[in-house]
A and B are shown apart, each in its own frame.
Chain A
């Protein structure tokens, strides 16, 4: 079974950037589509986009287009999500997630524990 392990909590000031990592263990990173989902305090799940480490193709929702960058380091089997121009509304837990079933949008049955990001002056 693939496992996803994320980096630890981050605190940033408004206007700054944050990079969250998601390390894949047990399999090659390029076997999966890596999805990024966030959850603001007390709110629901919001899909941010997905990233194919094999070809570098990234899809993001309109909400995040121009502000999010998804990359990978195949040497360390790690995917990254960077969000810039942070504002207080970006305070949330950021999850990476995937499925082993198919390399396309489907269900998400493998989740990392999440990375809390706090944006505060």
Chain B
């Protein structure tokens, strides 16, 4: 099974800060990596797919990069509404599997 290691588990930053979250896969997953935001009490929302593609309608301050085993999610200028938990998610079809990272809880200082 592919394991996803996400860090840090939690993060506190100021409005306007650049925020970076990393996700490492236990084996090469090419660019089969997505990022989600989950606000408290809400369902997860897809932000980035295939490592670096911004979902339509998602603010451009969010971005993703990486391939193989190491991936990065960045918010270039943190806004108050970005508070929540962020998850990476790998996917594969041979054999079928989906794995989420442990999540990163983001709060405003």
Q: Name A residues whose Cβ lies closer than 8 Å to a Cβ of B.
A: 35, 37, 44-47, 50, 59, 61-62, 95, 104-109, 111-114
Q: Are B46 and A108 in contact (CB under 8 A)?
A: yes
B18-62 contacts to A, CB under 8 A, are 34, 36, 38, 43-44, 46, 49, 55
Chain A nearest CB from B3 CB (Å) reads 12
Q: Are A44 and B103 in contact (CB under 8 A)?
A: yes
Q: Are B43 and A113 in contact (CB under 8 A)?
A: yes
User: Can you give 6 A-B contacts (C-beta < 8 A)?
Assistant: A44-B85, A59-B96, A61-B97, A105-B91, A105-B96, A106-B49
Interface of A is mostly: loop
Indicate if B81 sits at the interface (CB-CB under 8 A).
no
Q: Which 9 A-B pairs have the closest CB atoms?
A: A111-B43, A44-B103, A47-B98, A105-B91, A45-B100, A107-B34, A109-B46, A107-B49, A59-B96
Instruction: Give the size category of B's interface with A.
Output: 20 to 34
Q: Name B residues whose Cβ lies closer than 8 Å to a Cβ of A.
A: 1, 34, 36, 38, 43-44, 46, 49, 55, 85, 87, 89, 91-93, 96-103
Partner of B1, one of A62, A104, A109: A62
For the complex, what is the distance from the CA of A95 to the CA of B87, rounded to whole Å? 16
For the complex, what is the distance from the CA of A41 to the CA of B96, rounded to whole Å? 27
Q: Are B100 and A111 in contact (CB under 8 A)?
A: no
Q: Are B49 and A104 in contact (CB under 8 A)?
A: no
A109: chain B residues at CB < 8 Å are 46, 55
**Who on chain B is nearest to A35 by CB?**
B98
B102: chain A residues at CB < 8 Å are 44
For the complex, what is the distance from the CA of A104 to the CA of B95, rounded to whole Å? 11
Q: Are B99 and A47 in contact (CB under 8 A)?
A: yes
Q: Are A108 and B1 in contact (CB under 8 A)?
A: no
For the complex, what is the distance from the CA of A47 to the CA of B36, rounded to whole Å? 14
For the complex, what is the distance from the CA of A105 to the CA of B38, rounded to whole Å? 20
A105 and B97 in contact, given A45-B103, A62-B1 (Cβ under 8 angstroms) = yes
A46: chain B residues at CB < 8 Å are 100
A105 and B92 in contact, given A44-B87, A44-B102 (Cβ under 8 angstroms) = yes
